[in-house]
Amino acid sequence: MPIGRVTQVVDCREAMGMGKGGGIAQRGTISECRYPDVIVVGMSPGRRHVTKPVCDITSGLRQQGVEYSISTLVLNAGSGVPPDAPKIAGSALGAYFGLTEKEIVQIEKHKVAILHHGNVRSHVVHKVRFILTACNVKAIVVSQSPIDYEDLAKEGVKTAYVMPPADQIRTKGTVMEIVSGVTRGQTPTREKMAEVISAVMRLIKKKESLE
């Protein structure tokens, strides 16, 4: 049983960061741990920077002694909405949400993906649907705006509690948990961090019991 501090080695960037000291992660960057257990997927950096709350969730999981490796992926094209989504008021002009083949491989090699896509309800639903159409992974959705399993199922997303009709399923991956009320650009409250940690622990333990 370990006593005192436990050292974790993290490969933090694949490119130079932005800002003083290279502290702000660029798009297309992944921080990887030794074993691919949990990956936190965040939007591309912009005026409202990606490290809040994505990096808080990553570091919070580690600080709470979650005995799994936590990776963070900053998407190369994480702004806007997918090109096949309906035209939505408020979507970023000229920006389309998307995934590269490399990002799909990076996400799929993990047991659990935590997906954070901001504050616009319809954007969150379509981004989750787009990712899980490409990636066969169990997902926890973290958002600021409240969404539910029915919102996702209406767009063909498989969920643990509500399934779309068989002929309308569009995703390979499945949403297992939703944690709403996590404000973009701010550190999550202790209560919300506890919800995320509990969701991760339940999902990992369920997967391990089935393997």
Three-state DSSP string of 143-169: CCCCCCHHHHHHCCCEECCCCCCHHHC
DSSP 94: T
Q: φ and ψ at 35, to 5 degrees?
A: -115, 135
The pLDDT value recorded for residue 11 is 42
The fourth-level CATH superfamily of domain 22-210 is Cobalamin-binding domain (3.40.50.280)
Q: What is the mean pLDDT of residues 142-163?
A: 95
3-class DSSP state for residue 183?
Answer: coil
The alpha-helical segments, DSSP class H, found in the chain are 51-63, 101-108, 121-134, 149-154, 190-210
* The amino acid at 124: V
Segment 154-210, tens digit of pLDDT = 999 999 999 999 999 999 999 999 999 988 778 888 899 889 989 988 888 887 776
Indicate if the pLDDT at residue 149 is higher than 80.
yes
Instruction: Check if the beta carbon of residue 175 is closer than 8 Å to that of residue 141.
Output: yes
User: pLDDT tens digit string along 110-123?
Assistant: 889 999 887 788 88
Amino acid at 105: V
Kindly report the pTM of this predicted structure: 0.80
Q: Which of 35, 25, 34 is nearest to 73 (CA)?
A: 25
pLDDT band for position 211 (50/70/90)? low
Each residue's pLDDT tens digit, 36-87: 788 888 776 654 445 577 777 877 777 766 656 677 777 777 777 788 887 6
Q: Which of 84, 197, 71 is nearest to 142 (CA)?
A: 197
Residue-level pLDDT at 9: 44
